[in-house]
């Protein structure tokens, strides 16, 4: 059985690798345009593959296709024979142009989209709302008290804002479970700005999204620089995927491949394992997958144990990205 970790100081236990479900957006909305629209049959296959390899939790959001990702995830879990309570489901409320009152006003829609699966973790998606952190956390705490959600998280919060969320929830005897942030070997700013250190001090789990740098750490784009032109969304416009960007990350990818070869693993698995292991139990990851084979490969990171020397080598090779 795959070892699990507690999500913050809650009683929820998750595998170090979960499945991010942004790519289940069905091509809808601004967020959905980053990915090709996946048929439900493919979504079912991805979710089934993740479950078969031991992954027990799934992260989605209201913003991902205006509920399309939530609905697709629920349908795939049902197709895989899962029931509410068998898995951990996380979603997010988008605060853009909204007040804290929207959290409680929209929880019914979140429940309907994810039915019959309960919401284990509900997160504030961005620090851009029209209400204070304290009012947002108060609304989330009310949902916990009403047993509409089990735990509260935030996303993209800096250390100061995370501390405010933690303190507001603590006043209601509720722990802040998590802070979901962009974090990979190619983007370590959450270390240099103190977010990871603050999470450790508060007992908050860091959930790393884009842990493979939108696929750069697989090495696929270094092997075939023209591949990015075939991908939907804005990758082809991003500097990291152009010639200079690829050269900047090439040495790191080569280090990943060297370590992967020693373990009979892949570069992606090593990149995920580094995130899960470098800070002890503080960090968990939610790579996405658009094919069942990708979900299987990502889950393989759960079985990979890196040595201190290997962790240190990758630390040194990626310090330019802090």
In the chain the domains, ranked by start, together with CATH numbers, are: 4-216+275-306 (3.20.20.100)
Distances (CA, A) of 320 to 53, 181, 208, 215, 269: 34, 19, 19, 19, 21
Percent of the chain past pLDDT 90, that is, above it, reads 84
- Rounded Cα gap, residues 87 and 84, in angstroms: 7
Reduced to 3 states (helix: H, G, I; strand: E, B; else coil), residue 163 is helix
State residue 122 phi and psi, 5-degree precision: -115, 130
Q: Which runs of consecutive H residues, i.e. helices, occur in 63-179?
A: 68-79, 101-114, 133-145, 159-170
- Rounded Cα gap, residues 77 and 72, in angstroms: 9
H or E segment to which residue 293 belongs: helix 292-299
Q: Which of 105, 98, 77 is nearest to 89 (CA)?
A: 77
Annotated active-site residue in 64, 183, 209, 221: 64
pLDDT interval class at 226 (50, 70, 90): low
The residue-averaged pLDDT of 124-134 equals: 97
Q: Which of 62, 144, 152 is nearest to 102 (CA)?
A: 62
Q: Which of 150, 149, 75 is nearest to 114 (CA)?
A: 75
Q: Assess whether 183 carries a catalytic annotation.
A: no
Q: Does the structure show a pLDDT above 90 at 231?
A: no
Q: Does the structure show a pLDDT above 70 at 105?
A: yes
Q: Does the structure show a pLDDT above 70 at 164?
A: yes
pLDDT at 219: 74
- Rounded Cα gap, residues 236 and 204, in angstroms: 35
Distances (CA, A) of 138 to 88, 127, 133, 154, 170: 23, 15, 8, 13, 10
Residue carrying the six token digits 């500097």: 239
């Amino acid at each position: 059985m795959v070892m699990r970790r507690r999500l913050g100081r809650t009683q929820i236990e998750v595998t170090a690798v979960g499945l991010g479900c942004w790519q289940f957006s069905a091509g809808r909305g601004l967020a959905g345009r980053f990915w090709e629209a996946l048929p439900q049959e493919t979504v079912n296959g991805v979710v089934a593959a993740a479950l078969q390899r031991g992954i027990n939790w799934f992260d989605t959001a209201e913003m991902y296709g205006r509920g399309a990702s939530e609905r697709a995830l629920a349908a795939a879990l049902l197709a895989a024979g899962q029931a509410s309570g068998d898995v951990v489901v996380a979603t997010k409320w988008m605060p853009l142009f909204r007040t804290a009152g929207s959290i409680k006003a929209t929880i019914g829609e979140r429940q309907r989209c994810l039915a019959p699966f309960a919401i284990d973790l509900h997160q504030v998606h961005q620090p851009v709302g029209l209400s204070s952190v304290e009012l947002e956390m108060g609304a989330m705490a009310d949902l916990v008290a009403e047993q509409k959600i089990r735990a509260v998280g935030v996303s993209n919060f800096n250390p100061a804002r995370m501390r405010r969320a933690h303190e507001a929830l603590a006043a209601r005897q509720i722990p802040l479970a998590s802070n979901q942030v962009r974090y990979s070997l190619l983007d370590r700013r959450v270390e240099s700005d103190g977010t990871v250190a603050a999470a450790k001090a508060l007992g908050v789990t860091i959930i790393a999204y884009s842990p493979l740098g939108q696929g750069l750490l697989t090495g696929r784009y270094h092997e075939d620089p023209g591949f990015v032109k075939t991908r939907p969304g804005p990758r082809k416009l991003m500097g990291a995927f152009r010639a200079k960007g690829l050269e900047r990350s090439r040495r790191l990818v080569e280090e990943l491949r060297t370590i992967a070869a020693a373990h009979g693993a892949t570069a992606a698995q090593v990149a995920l394992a580094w995130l899960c292991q470098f800070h002890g139990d503080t960090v968990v990851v939610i790579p996405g997958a658009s094919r069942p084979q990708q979900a299987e490969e990502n889950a393989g990171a759960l079985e990979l144990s890196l040595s201190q020397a290997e962790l240190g080598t990758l630390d040194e090779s990626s310090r330019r990205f802090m």
